[in-house]
Chain A
Amino acid sequence: MVAVPLAGAEQRLLHPSVPVAFFGLATLAHLGFWLLLAWLPERAAVIGGPGPGLAAVHMLTVGVLAAAAVGAVLQILPVTTMQTAPPLWAGWALLVLIGGGGTLLVAAFLTISVAGMIAGATALGLGLLLFTGLLGRLLWKGRAAGLPDTLPAILGAAVALAGVVALAVLLAADYRLAWLPDHGAAAAAHLVLAGYGFMGLLVVGFSHILVPMLAVAEPPKPRAGRPALVLAVCAVAAAAAGLLGGSVFLTALGGVAGLVASVLHVDTMVRAHARRMRKRLGPSFVLIRVSWLLLPLSIAAGLGALAGIMPPLVFGVLLLPGWLLTILLGMLQRILPFLASMNTVRRCARPASATALVWDAPLKVLAVLHPAAVALLTLAAALDAPLLTRMAGVVGMAGAIAFLIHALTVGVRALRHRRRVGPKPKPARPGGTAATAA
Chain B
Amino acid sequence: MTPVDASAATTPPSWVADVEADPVATVDAADLLAQGGDPLSTVLAAATPVPAGRGLVVVAPFDPVPLRDLLATHGFENFSRPVGDGRYRVTFLRVGGCRESVASEPAAPAQPPKRKFWMDADGLHLDARGLSAPGPMIEILRFIDGGAHDQPLMVHVPQFPVHLIPELEERGWTWDLLDETPGHVILRLMPGDA
Interface set of A (CB-CB < 8 Å, partner B): 1-10, 80, 83, 140-144, 146, 212-214, 216-219, 277-280, 338, 341-342, 345, 350-351, 353-355, 429-438
Contact B167 A213 (CB under 8 A): no
Contact A80 B36 (CB under 8 A): no
Contact A279 B170 (CB under 8 A): yes
Partner of B133, one of A3, A341, A431: A3
Contact B178 A437 (CB under 8 A): yes
Closest A residue to B36 by CB, please name it.
A144
Contact B182 A8 (CB under 8 A): yes
* B150 close to A (CB within 8 Å): no
Closest B residue to A341 by CB, please name it.
B162
Given contacts A345-B159, A430-B82, A430-B86, 19 further A-B contacts (CB under 8 A): A2-B111, A2-B113, A6-B39, A10-B182, A80-B133, A141-B36, A144-B37, A216-B141, A216-B167, A219-B134, A277-B167, A278-B167, A342-B162, A351-B160, A351-B162, A355-B166, A431-B86, A435-B179, A437-B176
* B64 close to A (CB within 8 Å): yes
Contact B162 A354 (CB under 8 A): yes
Closest B residue to A8 by CB, please name it.
B182
Contact B66 A5 (CB under 8 A): yes
Closest A residue to B130 by CB, please name it.
A2
A10, B39: Cα distance in complex, Å:
20
Minimum CB–CB distance from B128 to chain A (whole Å) comes to 11
A141, B31: Cα distance in complex, Å:
12
Contact B178 A2 (CB under 8 A): no
Interface residues on chain B, number (Cβ under 8 Å):
54
Contact A218 B138 (CB under 8 A): yes
Q: What residues of chain A lie closer than 8 Å to B111, measured between beta carbons?
A: 2
Contact A434 B82 (CB under 8 A): no
Interface-located stretch among B11-19, B46-54, B55-63, B99-107: B55-63
Contact B61 A6 (CB under 8 A): yes
Contact B40 A2 (CB under 8 A): yes
A320, B171: Cα distance in complex, Å:
37
Q: What residues of chain A lie closer than 8 Å to B1, measured between beta carbons?
A: none
Minimum CB–CB distance from A232 to chain B (whole Å) comes to 25
Contact B134 A212 (CB under 8 A): yes
Provide 9 A-B residue pairs closer than 8 Å at the C-beta atoms, listed in order of the A residue.
Answer: A5-B158, A6-B29, A9-B160, A143-B36, A214-B163, A216-B167, A345-B162, A431-B88, A437-B176
A146, B82: Cα distance in complex, Å:
30
Partner of B166, one of A9, A143, A353: A353
A433, B134: Cα distance in complex, Å:
25
* B6 close to A (CB within 8 Å): no
Interface set of B (CB-CB < 8 Å, partner A): 29-30, 33-34, 36-40, 60-64, 66-67, 82, 86, 88, 110-113, 130-135, 137-138, 141-142, 145, 158-160, 162-163, 165-167, 169-171, 175-183
Q: What residues of chain B lie closer than 8 Å to A437, measured between beta carbons?
A: 176-178
A345, B161: Cα distance in complex, Å:
10
Q: What residues of chain B lie closer than 8 Å to A280, measured between beta carbons?
A: 170
Known contacts A351-B162, A354-B165, A355-B165; is A4 also within 8 Å of B39 by CB? Answer: yes
Minimum CB–CB distance from A272 to chain B (whole Å) comes to 11
Q: What residues of chain A lie closer than 8 Å to B138, measured between beta carbons?
A: 216-218, 277
A187, B109: Cα distance in complex, Å:
50
Partner of A216, one of B40, B61, B163, B175: B163
Q: What residues of chain B lie closer than 8 Å to A140, measured between beta carbons?
A: 36
A2, B132: Cα distance in complex, Å:
6
Q: What residues of chain B lie closer than 8 Å to A342, measured between beta carbons?
A: 160, 162
Q: What residues of chain A lie closer than 8 Å to B39, measured between beta carbons?
A: 4, 6
Closest 3 CB pairs of A and B: A438-B176, A3-B132, A8-B182
Closest B residue to A82 by CB, please name it.
B33
Contact A277 B179 (CB under 8 A): no
Minimum CB–CB distance from A61 to chain B (whole Å) comes to 30
Q: What residues of chain A lie closer than 8 Å to B132, measured between beta carbons?
A: 1-3, 146
Partner of B180, one of A4, A6, A353, A435: A435
Contact B166 A5 (CB under 8 A): no
Contact B66 A4 (CB under 8 A): yes
Minimum CB–CB distance from B155 to chain A (whole Å) comes to 14
Known contacts A345-B162, A436-B177; is A5 also within 8 Å of B182 by CB? Answer: yes
Q: What residues of chain B lie closer than 8 Å to A142, measured between beta carbons?
A: 36
Q: What residues of chain B lie closer than 8 Å to A5, measured between beta carbons?
A: 66, 158-159, 182-183
A436, B142: Cα distance in complex, Å:
27
Q: What residues of chain A lie closer than 8 Å to B165, measured between beta carbons?
A: 341, 351, 353-355
